[in-house]
Every structure is written in structure tokens, then in C-alpha cells.
Amino acid sequence: MGAAYQFDDLMISEEENYALGIERVTGKRYISVDVIDGDSICPSHYEISDAEFTRLLDDPASGQALARRCKAGEEEARLIREG
């Protein structure tokens, strides 16, 4: 079994409920959104490229749009899965 992921949020948008960060073990850039799982809310992390990471830091509207797509289940191919 590999090491557990360690997500470091570098930018948090409380208004849109998403964060951008870098995973410590792999160095992957990600966007994190809160999703409802039964009765609880938990973060889901989606991999983004270095270029996307930089663009999303500079363009909050693009970050909001991607966060909404992630929450809607439209970006599942990018989901960073544990284990």
C-alpha cells in the first residue's frame, strides 16, 4: 500500500467552496471541492495540470467554472483516488 496523500491547500475560495493546492507526496496540482456523501460533506480532489493551476490562480472565474463541473460529476476522470 502506498503512502497516504497529503493535500496542501494554497488558495481557498470560501465564496465558491473550492481550493487549489499541491499534493506533497506526488507533487500533483489539484482543485478540491466539497461533495455530499450520504449525511456528510467531504473534500474531493481533482488533478489539474501545472498550466491550469497557474491559470486558475490568476483567473478566479475559471476556477469557479471548474469547481462547478467537478461538483456536477463532469470531471470524474481527474479524481485523485485514495489507495
pLDDT tens-digit readout, 8-39? 999 999 888 899 999 999 999 999 999 887 89
The verdict on residue 83 lying in a domain is: no
Burial class (CB in 10 A: 0-12, 13-18, 19+), 83: exposed
pTM value is: 0.90
Q: Give the domain range for residue 38.
A: 7-78
DSSP classification of residue 24: T
Distance CA 70, CA 74 (A): 6
Cα–Cα dist 32/8, whole Å: 10
* Number of folded domains that form the chain: 1
- pLDDT of amino acid 17: 86
| 2 is a domain residue | no
Residue 1 has pLDDT above 80, yes or no: no
- Domain annotation covers residue 1: no
**What is the Cα 8 distance to its own chain's centre?**
11
**pLDDT tens digits, residue range 39-56?**
998 899 999 999 999 999
Does 43 fall in a domain? yes
- Residue 74, classed as helix, strand or coil, is coil
